[in-house]
Structure 1
Amino acid sequence: MRSWRRGAPGVAAVGGALLGVALLAACTSGPDPVAAASPTVGPLDVYLDLITGVEDESAEAFVAQASKAEEIVAACMHDAGFEYVPDPTRYHSSVQDTEALATFDEHAYAAEYGYGLTEPGERPGITTSSVADDPNTEYQMAMSPAQGAAYQKALQGVFAFGDTAPTDEEIDAAYTAPWTEKGCSGRAEHEAFDWEVATSEDVVMIRDEWEGSWQRDLDPQFDAVRTAWVACMREAGTPAYTHPQDAVDQLQAEMLVRQEALAGGEPGSGKAWKELHELEITVAVADLACQDATDYQDELEALEHERQQEFVDTHRAELDALVERYSADR
């Protein structure tokens, strides 16, 4: 299932991540949700698009929304008596160039870097930002403790926890508070992103019900797909893995073990590290080849869409009611 927004106002205030993949433009007068499903978009995904009313969740659209949000934050902070330089990177740590990624040769990358664990290779089309780039840091550092607290309160509202680490209960309360209590960030995200529908109780309940209704790893059809991949990997002479993510997880675990064994030495050096890097390349190359040979990703996607269809057939009345309810407000 495609990722769909579960973010909440206030996310940027605590370091929100870039959320989003391409969504279908849709409205109640648009195509039938099931008919609109495609090889990459399942029938439940389409319904959720209709309900949330998000026309474009591409990386480029998200960056544009982030820029709009930051202009709102700047105006709001100015009204509160503070200076503020718009900083769209608060809403994302990396931005993907979808056109560049479309031409990215993952097989060539795997042959040189494996999964990018022991020796991360540069993936074209991805730019990153860091907290150190925040143009407002110097301004805040010059403030007195009282001024800094007031600044954070204006910016984050209930997310301004101060120097004391918040409890889980305090964090939960902050996330569930209305956007009006989340300072200028909450106001900006409310106006620029409109996440309220995606995070509303009834929509989250539908999503949670779907996630609880289908456990991929327990599905007999998934076991058939997985078994074909395992057999292919065995023929390639790799260690025993149960599925692609298991291969990554085991290599990461071994990498951490060897890092600890370095006892202060530099990762990336020494015979043991070189051996692990070579194993990683061998596994990654075989993994991609076996996924291609078994149509692993296509088979998984087809299976998930089939299960989504079953869920939609069972919950169509609820989904139609949600579409009608939330589209009436737009």
Structure 2
Amino acid sequence: MAPAVLGLVLIVTGCSGGDAAPSEDDISPIGEYFQAFYGGDLSSEEQEARYAAENTEREELVAQCMTDQGFEYIPMPSSTGVFDSGVEWKPEDREFVAQWGYGAVKYPGADEQPEPEQMTEDPNADYVASLSESEQTAFYEALYGPTPTEEEMSEDGSYEYNWETAGCNGWASHEVSGDDPTQADEFADVMDAINTFYESSASLPAIAELDRAWASCMDGAGYPGFASQSDAQNSIYEEINGLWNENTPETGPDPSAMDEIHEREVELALADLDCRDETDYRTAYQKAQFAAEEQFVADHKTELEAMKAAAEQARS
């Protein structure tokens, strides 16, 4: 449940009210709580140091657990696994959009990502390779827990995570990080309320009116059929997904077909940007969203503060 909510929280960062221009540094009222839940209120240096320390502790516990179950295990070295191209993402800048569109097909730094051989190697690879097929199965079951059954899997391939059935990795993660308050039964009602809030946010009167104005502008620009601003960007990703579904992961889509999508993507994104500018979309959207979130926080202050306290206690 939490990952879906977090994705929505990140979308609504921006203007915090008034007539000021939106800022990427502003966090929405609900988003501030999720930052606190997961330590996002720390600086990037503090987060990196915390991650490294937690990873070291976690891997040592995993090694202890695997040894107890009769396997060898060398702790994995710490790696953030995050690539930073150093290029600022500027979806409101016309020059940026004219080059990258929504960043669906092509995006800054794509050609600079590290090669596979530059990634951290698994120090346990040789040991696992020396095991028989049945021993390898037992190794990974001890490490990650049994594979979820069909009954446990949802239609989209996801399943409910439970650290108690996630092997040594799940146990070690729980030992280091404690209970995730967003997954606790105690806070299930408020998490459901948050999900419902975001699912219905598009129907807020101010946002619905804004989307109608934006859609009218797009219709006049030759792009009819979009009910909301997010539909435009999603249409490009749906087209890309369709190409991938027609090809195997090994071959991937035809590059020329992807180039054609990119051309249409840029044209659509530029029209979208023009209509956002014409309707003052971003500022108006953020003001309406933040106002609604402020009311939500006021209505659920007790539960949210309790979750925040639980998260802080788990990290201490």
TM-score range for the pair, normalised by the shorter chain length: 0.5 to 0.7
* Aligned equivalent of 1:160: 146
Q: CA–CA distance in 1 between the matches of 2:243 and 2:135?
A: 46
Quick check: 1:247 aligned with 2:232?
yes
Q: Deviations over 1:292-325 (max 9, x none)?
A: 3433233222222211222223233444455566
Q: CA–CA distance in 2 between the matches of 1:202 and 1:186?
A: 21
Q: CA–CA distance in 1 between the matches of 2:7 and 2:31?
A: 19
* Aligned equivalent of 1:143: 131
Q: Is the 8 A contact 2:91 2:97 kept in 1?
A: no
TM-fit CA distance, 1:226: 1.0
Q: CA–CA distance in 1 between the matches of 2:116 and 2:83?
A: 12
Describe how 1:102-181 pairs up with structure 2 within 5 A.
107-117=94-104, 119-123=105-109, 127=113, 134-135=121-122, 136-156=124-144, 159-161=145-147, 166-169=149-152, 175-178=161-164, 181=165
Q: CA–CA distance in 2 between the matches of 1:250 and 1:244?
A: 11
Describe how 1:163-202 pairs up with structure 2 within 5 A.
166-169=149-152, 175-178=161-164, 181-202=165-186
Q: CA–CA distance in 2 between the matches of 1:20 and 1:142?
A: 45
Q: State the identity %.
A: 20
**SS across alignment from 1:237:** coil
TM-fit CA distance, 1:66: 4.3
Q: CA–CA distance in 1 between the matches of 2:175 and 2:263?
A: 50
Aligned counterpart in structure 2 of residue 312 of structure 1, from 284, 294, 297 = 297
TM-fit CA distance, 1:278: 2.7
TM-score by length of 1: 0.66
* Aligned equivalent of 2:288: 303
Matched to 1:101, the amino acid is E
Aligned counterpart in structure 2 of residue 232 of structure 1, from 203, 217, 223 = 217
Q: CA–CA distance in 1 between the matches of 2:47 and 2:88?
A: 17
Q: CA 1:73–1:18 in structure 2 vs 1: closer, same or farther (change >3 Å)?
A: farther
* Aligned equivalent of 2:189: 205
* Aligned equivalent of 2:255: 268
Q: Is the 8 A contact 1:82 1:151 kept in 2?
A: no
314-323 or 196-205, which moves further after superposition?
314-323
Describe how 1:17-166 pairs up with structure 2 within 5 A.
40-48=26-34, 52=37, 54=39, 56=41, 63-79=48-64, 80=67, 81-88=71-78, 94-96=82-84, 100-101=87-88, 107-117=94-104, 119-123=105-109, 127=113, 134-135=121-122, 136-156=124-144, 159-161=145-147, 166=149
Quick check: 1:216 aligned with 2:206?
no
Q: CA 1:70–1:128 in structure 2 vs 1: closer, same or farther (change >3 Å)?
A: farther
Q: Deviations over 1:211-247 (max 9, x none)?
A: 2245022222111211232233234333442223211
Q: CA–CA distance in 2 between the matches of 1:61 and 1:19?
A: 24
* Aligned equivalent of 1:10: none
User: Which segments of 5 or more consecutive residues in structure 1 lack a partner in the other structure?
Assistant: 8-16, 22-37
Q: Is the 8 A contact 1:96 1:125 kept in 2?
A: no
**SS across alignment from 1:121:** coil
TM-align CA RMSD: 4.4
Q: CA–CA distance in 1 between the matches of 2:279 and 2:304?
A: 34
* Aligned equivalent of 1:13: none
**SS across alignment from 1:101:** coil
Q: CA–CA distance in 2 between the matches of 1:309 and 1:20?
A: 13
Q: Deviations over 1:120-151 (max 9, x none)?
A: 23347985787986423343222223432342
* Aligned equivalent of 2:17: none
TM-fit CA distance, 1:285: 1.5
* Aligned equivalent of 1:292: 277
Q: CA–CA distance in 1 between the matches of 2:131 and 2:191?
A: 44
Q: CA–CA distance in 2 between the matches of 1:283 and 1:202?
A: 45
User: Which segments of 5 or more consecutive residues in structure 2 lack a partner in the other structure?
Assistant: 11-22
